[in-house]
């Protein structure tokens, strides 16, 4: 039973205030319905029912199904980045300025394992496949493909590379570009070997991806 279909007394004519809980409930329901039904078959009515809100509430928050889908994709990116964030604060690889004896290659391998673990998340991978499948039929969904890796991952690696350069281990003139290249290599290999997230990536395969990528970049940028 929907909980918000009838207006409350005393609120006529007042603009509705922020409703982050309802917005999040709609996004969670949208991801579930889009993954289950696909973009074309998914309906705002079903999403509203699963979120336990009115259809009008969905429209008030997101406007239409297309913008809801784009918001759902962006929400998944934020969730993935949030899953990565707690690990960044206690990075043992020296990226947060702590004193340690870990070399640059080991630091990159450690970072690589975290990237693969987070970005091959089952739900995020399923939504990524849905975007790829639907964007050719619905060009208006192209903004869902516009953003690549979560910004926090690249920023963290920029910090790691900058500190390693300051310590004299690496010579990196453009840390932002190098960081994007390293993350892109990890993600491309991870997606390929996991068949775009449809099979679990065995530990030894993940290790090989991370170690080879780190070795390549250290060879290229060693001072």
Residues 113 and 209 grouped into a single domain: yes
pLDDT the model gives residue 19: 82
Question: The domain containing residue 27 runs over which residues?
Answer: 18-63
Q: What is the DSSP string of 61-88?
A: HHSSHHHHHHHHHHHHHHHHHHHHHHHH
Task: Encode pLDDT of 26-46 as tens digits.
Answer: 999 999 999 999 999 999 999
Q: Which of 52, 55, 45 is nearest to 2 (CA)?
A: 52
Least confident of 76-85, 112-121, 203-212: 76-85
Return the CATH number at 175. 1.10.357.10
The rounded percent of the chain whose pLDDT value lies above 90 is: 59
Q: Which helix (H) or strand (E) holds 216?
A: helix 203-221
Task: Encode pLDDT of 156-192 as tens digits.
Answer: 899 999 999 999 999 999 999 999 999 999 989 999 9
pLDDT category at 4 given cuts 50, 70, 90 is very low
Residues 132 and 47 grouped into a single domain: no
DSSP state of 222: B
Residues 29 and 130 grouped into a single domain: no
pLDDT the model gives residue 101: 64
Assigned domain for 68 exists: no
Which residues have CB under 8 Å from 118's CB, separation 6+?
Answer: 80, 83, 84, 153
Assigned domain for 70 exists: no
Task: Encode pLDDT of 56-86 as tens digits.
Answer: 999 999 999 999 999 999 888 888 877 666 5
Distance, in Å, from the CA atom of 181 to the CA atom of 179, rounded to the nearest integer, reads 5
Assigned domain for 45 exists: yes
Which residues have CB under 8 Å from 130's CB, separation 6+?
Answer: 34, 35, 38, 39
CB count in 10 Å sphere of residue 34: 23
Q: How many domains does the chain fold into?
A: 2
Residues 109 and 22 grouped into a single domain: no
Assigned domain for 133 exists: yes
Residues 54 and 85 grouped into a single domain: no
Residues 51 and 94 grouped into a single domain: no
Which residues have CB under 8 Å from 120's CB, separation 6+?
Answer: 190, 191, 194, 197, 201
- Asked if residue 222 has pLDDT above 60, the reply is yes
Residues 158 and 122 grouped into a single domain: yes
Residues 128 and 181 grouped into a single domain: yes
Distance, in Å, from the CA atom of 193 to the CA atom of 209, rounded to the nearest integer, reads 9
Return the CATH number at 49. 1.10.10.60
Residues 27 and 131 grouped into a single domain: no
Residues 103 and 208 grouped into a single domain: yes
Indicate left, alpha or beta for 94 from its phi (over 0: left) and psi (-120 to 50: alpha): left
Q: What does the pLDDT average to over 112-138?
A: 89
Residues 97 and 33 grouped into a single domain: no
For residues 214 and 105, the answer to whether their CB atoms sit within 8 Å is yes
- Asked if residue 11 has pLDDT above 80, the reply is no
For residues 92 and 110, the answer to whether their CB atoms sit within 8 Å is yes
Residues 175 and 101 grouped into a single domain: yes
Assigned domain for 9 exists: no
């Amino acid at each position: 039973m929907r909980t918000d279909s009838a207006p409350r007394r005393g609120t006529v004519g007042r603009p509705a205030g922020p409703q982050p809980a309802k917005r999040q409930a709609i996004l969670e329901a949208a991801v579930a319905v889009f993954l289950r039904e696909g973009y074309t078959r998914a309906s705002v009515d079903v999403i509203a029912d699963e979120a336990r809100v009115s259809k009008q509430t969905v429209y008030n928050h997101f406007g239409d199904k297309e913008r809801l889908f784009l918001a759902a994709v962006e929400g998944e990116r934020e969730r993935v980045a949030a899953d990565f964030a707690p690990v960044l604060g206690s990075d043992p690889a020296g990226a947060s300025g702590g004193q340690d004896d870990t070399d640059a290659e080991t630091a990159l391998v450690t970072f690589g394992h975290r990237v693969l673990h987070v970005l091959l998340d089952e739900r995020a991978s399923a939504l990524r496949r849905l975007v790829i499948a639907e964007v050719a039929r619905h060009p208006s969904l192209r903004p869902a493909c516009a953003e690549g890796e979560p910004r926090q991952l690249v920023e963290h690696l920029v910090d790691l590379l900058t500190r390693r350069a300051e310590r004299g281990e690496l010579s990196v003139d453009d840390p932002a570009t190098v960081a994007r290249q390293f993350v892109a290599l990890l993600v491309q290999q991870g997606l390929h070997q996991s068949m775009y997230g449809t099979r679990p990536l065995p530990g030894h395969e993940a290790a090989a991806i991370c170690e080879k990528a780190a070795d390549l970049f250290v060879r290229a940028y060693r001072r």
